[in-house]
Amino acid sequence: MNKTVAIIGAGATGLAAAYDLARRGFRVTLYEGEGVLGGLASGFQDDNWAWSLEKFYHHWFEGDKAILGLIAELGMSDDVLFPRPKTSYWVDGRIYRSEIALSALRLPLSPLSLARFALTGAYLKLTPFWQPLERVTADAWMRFYMGQEAYEKFFKPLLIGKFGEHYDRVNMAWMWARIVSRSLKLGTFKGGFQRFLDAFGQRLRELGVDIQLNTRVERVDLDGLMPTVTVAGETRHYDWVISTTSPAIMLRLAPKLADTHYGDQMRALESIGGLCVVLALKQQVLTDGTYWLNLPASTPDKRANPFPFLALVEHTNYLDKAHYGGDHIVYCGDYAPADHEYFALTESELVARFLPALKRVNSAFDERWVRKAWVWRAPYAQPVPTLNHSENIPALQTPLPNVIWASMSQVYPWDRGTNYAVAMGRQVASMVK
């Protein structure tokens, strides 16, 4: 076949689509604005580290069939690791295990609330029926079924921390998807996600995919019925175009979508940004061995909360610090609207804002423990799914002939991440004829 396909964005969706299309004989050009493959799953590496470290996405789950299946197809399954780390909540000044296990009996809840907490968790883990759950908010459903005490102590603070002022608009199907997909063991790739992504990219090149890094597409248009992309002022013709950008970027790239019903649907999609402050420390912060500590939020006003971010993640309580030159690696992760001050502060200002929280968790913490810090920010990182969200999602095929748009806003009811990005990439590849 001599048909050509342009793919915009070399995240997991774009890479998976390129793989299937190239194997079917299409001539694929993959455009990526950054200098590395992977999008939100990409990593970075300090000089003294043997492994790379992820900027945003941190692990896979045992049920992530799409990404694990792709890795198996590529013959790389031997490099997948699945340790079982410790995940916890911070409640009333103490750390409590959050996994469904006997340790849950020690949660600070009355016996009735503990029973309701366990029963609703089991129901959500076992039920396959998510459609009725999108008709009610997570706030209302969990308050009614789980009960006020458990919801107020555990899930409401997490919803506020993640969605801010939108927390009571998020539908329950989103929460169901978060719970049903989780596993106790968490997966990674030897050497880090970036090692897998780079190996995947090399396989794509061997299949004939033209990967153009540091190359930003400026426009998506039509020449008659033929899609075009403009790069560095040059208009290039393709048989198909697949864009994996955010809604705002896609609307800017393809102005012909602006005055369509499809464009209206895209503009109505809501999302928030994500950020991670990554610290290389000389000493361990979470000395009880917790990998992922969920921190509470009582208000969307981050300055008024006990912690200025949502999750304290000690990566080297999950993977051996020897992979990182002996550094203790800590993520301080949060979500915020793209116009929040967290996206305007300098890197040093944001680090200074976050560091005092570590002393609240470990009184021995001293800022002199910090060897190095990095800040990663993404203004489009988490869709906000409101009531009856499935009725509002734009189709993958746009009104422009042979132009497909595939973003994390369309993996609903599942949450964003490499697994569902791969599944979507393979889905859109199957649409190309």
Listed by start position, the domains of the chain span 4-79+190-269+393-431, 100-180, 271-383
Helix axes 193-206, 12-23, angle to 10 degrees: 30
- Nearest-5° Cα angle at 311, 120 to 168: 50
3-state secondary structure 326-356: CCEEEEEEEEECCCCHHHCCCHHHHHHHHCH
Q: What is the pLDDT of residue 150?
A: 93
Q: CATH second-level architecture of 4-79+190-269+393-431?
A: 3-Layer(bba) Sandwich (3.50)
Q: What is the pLDDT of residue 99?
A: 67
Topology alike, domains 4-79+190-269+393-431 and 271-383: no
Q: What is the pLDDT of residue 1?
A: 66
User: What are 120's two structure tokens?
Assistant: 């609703």
In the sheet that 80-81 helps form, which strands lie side by side, from edge to edge?
A: 60-61, 186-189, 80-81
Please give the Cα distance from 289 to 244 (Å, whole number): 38
C-alpha atoms less than 13 angstroms from C-alpha of 7 in its C-beta half-sphere: 33
Q: What is the pLDDT of residue 106?
A: 75
Q: What is the pLDDT of residue 72?
A: 98
- Nearest-5° Cα angle at 190, 162 to 51: 80
Peptide bond into 300 cis (omega under 30): no
Please give the Cα distance from 340 to 377 (Å, whole number): 12
Class of domain 271-383: alpha beta
Buried b (16+ CB within 10 A) or exposed e, 257-277: beeeebbebbeebbbbbbbbb
Please give the Cα distance from 43 to 357 (Å, whole number): 25
CB 107 within 8 A of CB 99: no
Alpha-helix residue ranges (DSSP H) falling in 181-227: 193-206
Residues in the chain predicted with pLDDT less than 50, given as ranges, are none
